[in-house]
Amino acid sequence: MGRRWTTWTGIGLTALLILFLTLPVLLSIVAGLSVNYARGLSAGLTLTWVVQVWDLYADTILRSLIVAAATLVLTLLIGVPGAYALIRRGGRVARLVEEVVTLPVAIPGLALALGLIITYGGFGTFRQSTLFIAVGHVLFTLPFMLRAVMAVLETIDWRVLDEGAASLGAPAWRRFVDVILPNIREGILAGSLTVVTLSVGEFNLTWMMHTPMTKTLPVGLADAYASMRLEIASAYTLVFLVMIVPPLVGLQMVAGPRRERLGP
Partner 1 sequence: MRTRRFDLLLILPLAIFTLAFLLLPLARLGVTAAGGERGAMAFLAILTEPRYRTSLIATLLLALATTAATLAIATVAAQTLANRRFPGRGLLLSLLTFPLAFPGVVVGFLVILLGGRLGLVGSVTKAVAGTNVVFAYSLTGLFLGYLYFSVPRVLLTLLAAAEKLDPALGEAARSLGAGPLAIQRDVVLPALFPALYTGGALCFATAMGAFGTAFTLATNVDVVPMLIYTEFTLATNAAMAAALSIALGVVTWLALMLARLRATGA
Partner 2 sequence: MTLTANAAPPRGAAITARGLSKSFHGTTVLHPTDLHVPAGEILVLLGPSGCGKTTLLRLIAGLERPDGPDMLRFDGEDVSALPIERRNVGMVFQSYALFPNMTVAENVAYGLRVRGMPSAERKAEAARLLALVGLEEHAGKRITAISGGQRQRCALARALAIKPRVLLLDEPLAALDAVLRERLRAEIGLLLREFGITAVYVTHDQAEAMAIGDRIAVMQAGRIAQIDRPEVIYHRPRNDFVADFVGTMNRLAGPVREGRLILDGGDETRADLPAGGPDRPAILCFRPEAARPHAGPGEEAIRARITATTFFGATQRLLVEVAGQPLRLDLPSGLAFSPGQLAAFTIEGAALLEFPRTV
The answer for residues whose C-beta is within 8 angstroms of residue 87's C-beta and 6 or more apart is: 94, 150, 153, 154, 158
Q: From the list partner 1, partner 2, none, which binds 2 (C-beta under 5 to 8 Å, kind-based)? A: partner 2
Whose Cβ is closer to partner 2: residue 1's or residue 118's? 1
Whose Cβ is closer to partner 2: residue 2's or residue 257's? 2
Q: From the list partner 2, partner 1, none, which binds 243 (C-beta under 5 to 8 Å, kind-based)? A: none
Q: From the list partner 1, partner 2, none, which binds 173 (C-beta under 5 to 8 Å, kind-based)? A: partner 1
Whose Cβ is closer to partner 1: residue 35's or residue 259's? 259
**Dist. CA 235–CA 238, nearest whole Å:** 5
**Dist. CA 29–CA 236, nearest whole Å:** 10
Q: Do 197 and 75 form a contact (C-beta atoms < 8 A)?
A: no
Q: From the list partner 2, partner 1, none, which binds 193 (C-beta under 5 to 8 Å, kind-based)? A: none
Q: How far is CA 82 from the centre of its chain?
A: 20
Q: How many CB atoms lie within 10 A of CB 242?
A: 11
Shortest CB 56 distance to partner 1, Å:
16
Q: Do 142 and 79 form a contact (C-beta atoms < 8 A)?
A: yes
Shortest CB 213 distance to partner 1, Å:
17
Shortest CB 9 distance to partner 2, Å:
16
Binding site for partner 2 (CB under 8 A): 1-2, 4
Shortest CB 61 distance to partner 1, Å:
15
What secondary structure letter does DSSP report for 3?
S
